[in-house]
């Protein structure tokens, strides 16, 4: 009798599972059929647009509408031509001219021009408002990725920006060029300096080689400049952190409904314990924010400069059958103290602003002073930078 009761309960559970699955399937089928009916009605009956929108145009418009419902400020739907160029971009096969923009008051405004890069040489300035890229107008609804793909292209090719500056249109002619992702130099004979501009796939090997060259000079300390770093891949981040830690955690990541998962460094055959100062500021974005938070939490070095941008999400790239794609925030990243820094950023240990009115780099000078006066108290270190 007991066995018969168990069998009946199992059969009832299976029945309810089947009914639930069928209801969901029918609901989904109904939604898909309705969407297809809507598309057919528009194609066959639209009056105001002749010729009518193509099936692909309607599919892409519906896709953008679905993405807008996510409330994700970093979610972007990409049509096939944009997705193809975006994938090239992630493999460092395309070049830009070295500046950043932000969407402010319904306009795309230049917020940062990378020192020494093509944009600066061509005369682009912070505060310029983007109007056109070559012959393509930049509208309020144009996405950041669409703008990036228009600006970036084959190295050595020209690009023309039309910007609004002080009420006047200004033409900016520049040549696309791949910047050095990792730049090194010695400051005097005792301080090593390494500037890293991204965490792309090739960066880890580049950084390892250049870091080893610096250490051949037997410096007393290293300045790791992440102020111009726009982020990159998690794989590159975990590899690079292996140059500064032999093992251990770097950050947590958390899905919408899951528990935080710890990310460990990728062990390297090369690790240095050289005294370290990391330069950060508001242009330090995404992956370098994770790196600097781990350096700070694990007391591996001193952070100098200003608070970082505050990107607290991890985005993923999804490629679809028709060649279109989606970038979507799928997880939060958390510091090792399980703090979410979205909109806040990583705070430096020593806060110092760079004065644009002087030729000096005050943040860099502070880092140099710290490394040349090691074993000082925190108060003394702060006084070195005033």
Please, which residues have CB within 8 angstroms of residue 331's CB and are 6 or more apart in sequence?
A: 253, 254, 255, 313, 314
Residue 106 has pLDDT above 90, yes or no: no
Identify the pLDDT of residue 93.
61
Section 196-221 average pLDDT: 93
Which tens digit of pLDDT belongs to each residue from 129-141? 999 999 999 887 6
pLDDT of residue 295: 97
Q: What was the pLDDT predicted at 186? A: 97
Encoded tokens for 199: 């965490």
Q: What is the rounded CA–CA span in Å between residue 241 and residue 227?
A: 17
pLDDT at residue number 8: 46
Tell the burial category of 180 from Cβ atoms under 10 Å away from its Cβ (0-12, 13-18, 19+). Answer: middle
Q: How far is CA 382 from CA 219, 370, 373, in A?
A: 22, 9, 11
Q: What is the pLDDT of residues 25-46, one digit of tens each?
A: 545 567 777 777 787 888 888 8
Question: Is the pLDDT score of 378 beyond 90?
Answer: no
At residue 142 the predicted structure's pLDDT band, cuts being 50, 70 and 90, is confident
Which whole number is the average pLDDT over 95-105? 86
The stretch 153-182 carries a mean pLDDT of 92
Q: Say how many CA atoms lie within 13 Å of 18 toward its Cβ.
A: 6
* pLDDT value at residue 111: 87
At 14, is the pLDDT very low, low, confident or very high (cuts 50, 70, 90)? low
Q: Where are the alpha helices (DSSP H) in the chain?
A: 2-45, 55-68, 80-90, 118-122, 144-151, 203-215, 234-241, 287-297, 362-372, 378-384
Domains of the chain: 93-175 (2.30.42.10), 182-384 (3.90.226.10)
- 227-270 pLDDT, tens digit per residue, is 988 888 899 999 999 999 999 999 999 998 888 999 999 888 89
Whether the predicted pLDDT of 109 surpasses 90: yes
Predicted confidence (pLDDT) per residue in 247-258, tens digit: 999 999 999 888
pLDDT at 23 over 60: no
Instruction: Tell me the pTM.
Output: 0.83
Asked if pLDDT for residue 329 goes beyond 90, the answer is yes
């Amino acid at each position: 009798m007991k066995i018969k009761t168990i069998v009946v309960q199992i059969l009832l559970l299976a029945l309810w599972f089947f009914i639930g699955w069928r209801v969901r399937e029918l609901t989904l089928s109904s939604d898909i059929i309705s969407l297809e009916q809507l598309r057919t009605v528009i194609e066959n009956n639209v009056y105001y647009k002749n010729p009518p929108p193509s099936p692909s145009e309607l599919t892409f418009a519906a896709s953008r509408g679905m993405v807008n419902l996510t409330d994700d400020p970093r979610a972007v739907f990409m049509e096939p031509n944009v997705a193809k160029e975006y994938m090239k971009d992630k493999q460092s096969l395309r070049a830009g001219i070295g500046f950043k923009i932000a969407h402010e008051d319904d306009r795309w405004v230049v917020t940062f021009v990378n020192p020494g890069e093509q944009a600066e040489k061509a005369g682009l300035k912070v505060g310029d408002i983007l109007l056109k890229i070559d012959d393509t107008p930049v509208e309020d609804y144009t996405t950041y990725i669409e703008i990036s793909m228009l600006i970036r292209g084959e190295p050595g090719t020209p690009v023309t920006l039309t910007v609004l500056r002080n009420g006047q249109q200004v033409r900016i002619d520049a040549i696309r060029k791949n910047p050095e992702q990792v730049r090194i130099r010695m400051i005097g004979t005792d301080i090593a300096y390494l500037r890293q501009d991204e965490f792309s796939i090739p960066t880890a090997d580049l950084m390892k080689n250049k870091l080893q060259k610096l250490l051949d000079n037997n410096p007393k300390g290293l300045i790791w400049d992440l102020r111009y770093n726009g982020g990159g891949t998690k794989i590159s981040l975990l590899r690079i952190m292996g140059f500064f830690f032999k093992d251990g955690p770097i950050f947590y990541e958390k899905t919408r409904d899951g528990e935080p998962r710890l990310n460990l460094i990728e062990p390297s055959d090369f690790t240095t314990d050289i005294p370290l100062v990391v330069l950060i500021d508001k242009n330090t974005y995404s992956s370098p924010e994770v790196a600097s938070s781990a350096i700070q939490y694990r007391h591996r070095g001193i952070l100098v400069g200003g608070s970082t941008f505050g990107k607290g999400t991890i985005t993923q790239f999804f490629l679809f059958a028709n060649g279109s794609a989606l970038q979507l925030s799928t997880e939060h990243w958390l510091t090792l103290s399980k703090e979410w820094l979205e909109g806040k950023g990583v705070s430096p240990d020593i806060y110092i602003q760079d004065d644009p009115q002087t030729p000096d780099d005050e943040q860099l000078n502070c880092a140099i002073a710290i490394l040349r006066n090691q074993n000082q108290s925190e108060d003394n270190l702060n006084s070195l930078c005033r």
